């Protein structure tokens, strides 16, 4: 049966029959069936066009012709494993190395961000010979057993916190321990990490790594205060551990000013390991770990091979190269910067108008609208956020919420998202916020 002959209800029935029920749908009460997409737009089976404000995987736009062409050309020629020499693998690694600090020159290719973070953990442990990990509160690093262990977002609802995992406060200057009125939140939050290390050392625990999303995303689109990474890196290095920057959600030009989100902390900051995933294949399953020669050599000193069946195959690398080409040719990083700034300006005008908007934070096309019931108390407006997302869907705009209170509207569209799209989102948002205010009075 082809895609066109089955209606939404039939697809849903089969989904309930055959797909594990832990796999959730957006809008489970009234899910959307998407059958094609182009750029920042998706289309359902009735031809309705949705503006996609969610998909940070389709980085250069859904079904970008150059990426699709690169995949097809390589698929026609060869798709095999990396135990044979192939130029795509080395070209891709070399190309990525040019976007990173020189020190990060050893690459591993894999199939998902989760695989990348798992390898990063293995690299850190092998290099340091230590086990413990510091993570940031509410972090999410992936769906694998090892990553649920280091993801407070997940382990709090599952097996709980392992003895080798230490949770540092989220460096959130809007809702966290130290806020915008603190004279030096970077140092204050970094000192919390130092405290954790000191206490653990008293119990003779030893640190392998500090694992940080360069911009904590499921935690509520958080932008850590600049200088925080340098300071915590110093603490973790002194403790014998390494700094792992998880760029899976936020890397690859999204933040506009820089190619990598960790660079927002300052030009002097260099992580020991960087993990990348989601956007780098524009939807194709590909991911990467970049690290230093020293860490790579310590990992190989065991003599144990690292083999990933699909990792670094010529097709994945051809797609990865095409994505880099498109970002460059279409100047999507600069585009993200300009459109992001324009979007933030429009949103800030809304903040003046609608008291529900407590905070607007963003860089490039990574933007969070923190909705509050009360601007003083900053109490999360969770229900309102859900209402807005549901209403936006009726207006054919796809958006999602995040943060521990699920009250943060989360913008992370494909990078081809433009100023007209931003205007359209803000118009609809204004309308819905006004609706909400009328209902309340």
Stretch 224-283 residues interacting with a copy of itself (CB under 8 A): 277-278, 282-283
Rule CB under 8 A: say whether 204 interacts with a copy of itself. Answer: no
Let me know: does 165 contact 132? Beta carbons within 8 Å: yes
The first and second tokens of residue 347, run together, are 């949103």
Ranges within 151-170 binding a copy of itself (CB under 8 A): 154, 157-158
**How far is residue 177's CA from residue 362's CA, in Å, rounded to a whole number?**
20
Ranges within 135-154 binding a copy of itself (CB under 8 A): 143-146, 154
Rule CB under 8 A: say whether 187 interacts with a copy of itself. Answer: no
Among 40, 51, 60, 118, binds a copy of itself (CB under 8 A): 118
* Contact window for a copy of itself (CB under 8 A) among 84-92, 197-205, 223-231, 267-275: 84-92
The residue among 131, 403, 139, 174 whose CA lies nearest residue 275 is 139
Rule CB under 8 A: say whether 48 interacts with a copy of itself. Answer: no
Rule CB under 8 A: say whether 82 interacts with a copy of itself. Answer: yes
Let me know: does 205 contact 198? Beta carbons within 8 Å: no
User: Exposure string (b/e) for 225-234, b if CB count within 10 Å is 16 or more?
Assistant: bebbbbbbbe
Task: Please give the angle made by the CA atoms of 425, 336 and 34, to the nearest 5 degrees.
Answer: 50
Among 61, 101, 113, 358, binds a copy of itself (CB under 8 A): 113
By DSSP bridging, strand 132-136 and strand 408-411 are unpaired
Q: How far is the CB of 150 from a copy of itself (least distance, A)?
A: 11
Rule CB under 8 A: say whether 55 interacts with a copy of itself. Answer: yes
Rule CB under 8 A: say whether 431 interacts with a copy of itself. Answer: no
Among 184, 198, 238, 300, binds a copy of itself (CB under 8 A): 300
Rule CB under 8 A: say whether 86 interacts with a copy of itself. Answer: yes
In terms of C-beta distances under 8 Å and separation of at least 24 residues, what long-range contacts does 369-376 make, across chains too?
369/408, 369/409, 369/411, 370/174, 370/175, 370/220, 370/221, 370/403, 370/407, 370/408, 371/407, 371/408, 371/409, 372/407
Let me know: does 275 contact 120? Beta carbons within 8 Å: yes
Among 181, 202, 204, 309, binds a copy of itself (CB under 8 A): 309
* Contact window for a copy of itself (CB under 8 A) among 68-76, 192-200, 227-235, 327-335: 68-76
User: C-alpha 229: how far from its chain's center?
Assistant: 17
Nearest residue (CB) to a copy of itself, 232 versus 244: 244
**How far is residue 350's CA from residue 155's CA, in Å, rounded to a whole number?**
36
* Contact window for a copy of itself (CB under 8 A) among 166-174, 199-207, 305-313, 424-432: 305-313
Rule CB under 8 A: say whether 388 interacts with a copy of itself. Answer: no
Q: How far is the CB of 350 from a copy of itself (least distance, A)?
A: 27
């Amino acid at each position: 049966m082809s895609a066109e002959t089955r209606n939404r209800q039939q697809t849903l029935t089969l989904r309930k029959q055959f797909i594990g029920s832990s796999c959730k749908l957006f809008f489970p009460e009234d899910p959307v069936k998407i059958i094609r997409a182009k750029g920042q737009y998706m289309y359902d089976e009735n031809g309705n066009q949705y503006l996609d404000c969610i998909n940070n995987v389709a980085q250069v736009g859904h079904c970008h012709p150059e990426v699709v062409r690169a995949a097809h050309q390589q698929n026609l020629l060869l798709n095999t494993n990396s135990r044979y020499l192939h130029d795509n693998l080395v070209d891709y690694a070399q190309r990525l190395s040019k976007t990173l600090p020189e020190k990060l020159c050893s690459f591993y290719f894999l199939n998902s961000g989760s695989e990348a973070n798992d390898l990063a953990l293995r690299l850190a442990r092998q290099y340091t010979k230590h086990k413990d990990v510091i993570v940031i509160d509410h972090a999410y690093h992936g769906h694998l057993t090892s990553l649920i262990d280091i993801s407070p977002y997940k382990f709090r609802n599952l097996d709980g916190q392992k003895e080798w995992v230490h949770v540092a406060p989220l460096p959130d200057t809007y809702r966290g321990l130290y806020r915008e009125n603190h004279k030096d939140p970077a140092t204050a939050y970094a000192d919390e990490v130092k405290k954790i290390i000191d206490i653990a050392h008293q119990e003779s625990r030893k640190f392998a790594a500090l694992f940080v999303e360069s911009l904590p995303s499921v935690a509520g689109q958080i932008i850590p205060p600049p200088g925080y990474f340098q300071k915590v890196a110093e603490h973790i290095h002194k403790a014998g551990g390494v700094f792992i920057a998880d760029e899976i959600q936020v890397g690859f030009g999204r933040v506009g000013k820089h190619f990598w989100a960790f660079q927002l902390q300052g030009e002097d900051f260099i992580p020991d390991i960087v993990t990348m995933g989601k956007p780098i294949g524009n939807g194709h399953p590909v991911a990467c770990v970049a690290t230093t020669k020293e860490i790579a050599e310590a990992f190989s000193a065991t003599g144990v091979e690292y083999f990933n069946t699909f990792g670094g195959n010529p097709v994945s690398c051809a797609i990865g190269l095409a994505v880099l080409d498109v970002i460059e040719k279409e100047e999507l990083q600069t585009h993200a910067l300009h459109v992001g700034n324009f979007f933030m300006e429009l949103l800030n005008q809304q903040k003046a108008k609608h008291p529900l908007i407590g905070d607007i934070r963003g860089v490039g096309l990574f933007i969070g609208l923190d909705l509050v019931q009360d601007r003083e108390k900053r109490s999360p407006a969770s229900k309102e956020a859900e209402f807005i997302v549901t209403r936006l869907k009726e207006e054919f705009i796809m958006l999602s919420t995040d943060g521990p209170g699920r009250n943060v509207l989360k913008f992370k569209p494909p990078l081809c998202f433009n100023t007209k799209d931003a205007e359209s989102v803000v118009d609809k948002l204004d309308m819905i916020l006004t609706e909400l205010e009328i209902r309340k009075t």
